[in-house]
Amino acid sequence: MFRLGRKYRHLVHDAGCGCANPFLQRRSGYLSDYSRRNFLAGIGSATVAGMLPGVGSAQTPPPSRLLLTQVRLFDGKSDTLQTGVQVLIEGNKISAIDKTNGAPPSDATILECSDRVLMPGMIDAHWHTIYAAVPLQTLMVGDPGIVFASSTAEAERTLMRGFTTVRDLGGPVFTFKKAIDEGIIPGPRIFPSGAMITTSGGHADLRMPFEIPARDGQLSLSEMMGSSAIVDDVGDLKRRVREQLLQGASQIKLVGGGGVSSPRSPLDMTTFSEDEIRAAVDVARDWNTYVTVHAYAPKTVQRALVGGAACVEHAHLMDEDTARMFVDKNVWLSTQPFLTMDDAASQTGPGAERIKQLFAGTPKIYEFAKKHGIRTAWGSDVLFSPALTPRQNTMLTHLANWYTNAEALRMATSGNADLLALSNLRTPYGGKLGVIEEGAFADILVWDGNPLDDLHMIEDPQKNLSVVIKDGRIFKNTL
């Protein structure tokens, strides 16, 4: 454990454990020492997890050549399946797609798929890697050990559900992403935003009562953990944007208004001014990437659109005039098909009332998106609930209310990959995602059944998902 501590001491520094809050300092440095110990415990859990049976594939080098034979292929872009196909993987890329079933390379490992459906790994465009499975009350205690231990377990479960890539829309995920990329723990590829940047009183301002009013130069607990960044002037806003990019953000998330899970920020409120949004957009463009804005109400969404955001998250309360603006401004809509309380069982109090507004708005936003041809991405936005995370797949199948099965699967593969491409030079991964074609990353799923005929079969990946390959490595194989 001493060697592990030395290896990861830079991660402890990144966790922001230097406590500047006088209330917490009066506790004899308890938070600082306690957080360091428990952060190391979380990292220790991650490392041990990588050594356990069933997870060790994260440590095992992939075969130099892997040939998947006799598959029915959904390439992420088509409406129908291609039959009698075999797919060759070399290293971490797809090197050939053979429709003639030619002789396999002599040095290839062969995986016989017996006419199962092969498709690209799925992409969730709105995920919270660190906080999806952590109850809010646990998070507010500020113990990094339990937070990162829970997130480590959930990262593997996310991958086993078939999600090989996620766009992370808020949380201290930078070093966690590095652990996944280096094979220390299994999990999806991560396009990180870092801290959610908000104003005082906005969604993601989760300060405790004793942390209000803010004291000059002193950060709240959520800010020290890297969950949020609270700013109230343009100078601080630009600095916080640059800090996320410095740490490796592939895109920036601004909080433009209120939210469901933040009890003191109503959905109708608006945070940043148009000029402030434009200032953040300018910094992101200087770094060759983009800004996405969390917004629900029409006024809030419109301000993001006018301010130059390339993407808006949610927008469940928007009207048709706002929908037209998406097309006029050529902006992406990244939204979630919330339909029933089963999709938000973690919400209580004000959150439970607000989520009902989203239920009412969900059919409207998809009708607007289809009517006006808005470029639309799918995400699940599961948050603060280990009971809800298994519904990630079900949130995708909700799209069947408005789209064909092929359209829904395209949205979760090549469509979401097009959104990820907005990261431009800040992309963490230099290759194609969301498609099965030569040169694309070997992120592959093999289903025991045909999701183009029955989309709901993906709701039970434990039963129906036979193979999970990410970056050319086999993480699950029940064939």
What are the residues facing 253 on neighbouring strands?
292
Q: Tell me the backbone φ, ψ of residue 328, rounded to 5 degrees.
A: -60, -40
Q: What pLDDT score was predicted for residue 348?
A: 65
**Strand 189-192 and strand 196-198: pairing?**
unpaired
Q: How far apart are CA 331 and CA 318, in angstroms?
A: 14
Structure tokens at 200: 């005082």
Residue among 415, 479, 472, 407 nearest 446 (CA): 479
Helix, strand, coil shares of the chain, percent, nearest 5, are 40, 20, 40
The 8-class DSSP code of residue 301 comes to H
Structure tokens at 40: 């190391």
Q: What pLDDT score was predicted for residue 223?
A: 81
Residue among 238, 260, 278 nearest 126 (CA): 260
Q: Do domains 58-121+434-477 and 123-402 have the same CATH topology?
A: no
**58-121+434-477 fold:** Urease, subunit C; domain 1 (2.30.40)
Residue among 268, 229, 263 nearest 246 (CA): 229
The 8-class DSSP code of residue 402 comes to T
The helices-and-strands tally (H runs, E runs) of the chain is 17, 17
Q: What pLDDT score was predicted for residue 63?
A: 67
Residue 54 burial (CB count, 10 A): 11
Instruction: Supply the pTM of this predicted model.
Output: 0.86
Q: What pLDDT score was predicted for residue 136?
A: 73
What are the residues facing 119 on neighbouring strands?
445
Mean pLDDT by 10 residues, the chain (479 residues): 34 36 34 37 39 43 86 97 96 93 86 97 97 80 82 96 98 96 97 96 77 79 84 96 98 93 80 97 98 97 98 97 98 95 71 82 97 98 89 97 98 98 97 97 98 98 98 97
**Which residues are within 8 A (CB) of 241 and not within 5 positions of it... i.e. 6 or more apart?**
197, 252, 280, 283, 284
Q: What pLDDT score was predicted for residue 285?
A: 98
Residue among 459, 327, 477 nearest 400 (CA): 459
- Annotate 21-50 with b (16+ C-beta within 10 A) or e (fewer): beebeeeeeebbebbbebbbbbbbbbbebb
Q: How far apart are CA 286 and CA 240, in angstroms?
A: 14
| Radius of gyration of the chain, Cα coordinates, nearest whole angstrom | 22
Residue that has been written with the tokens 């996405």 in this structure: 292
For the chain, which residues make up each domain, given as ranges?
58-121+434-477, 123-402
123-402: in CATH 3.20.20.140? yes
| Rounded (5°) CA angle 208-253-471 | 115
Residue among 337, 336, 347, 177 nearest 262 (CA): 347
Q: Is the dihedral of CA 139, 141, 142, 143 positive or negative?
A: negative
Q: How far apart are CA 194 and CA 167, in angstroms?
A: 11
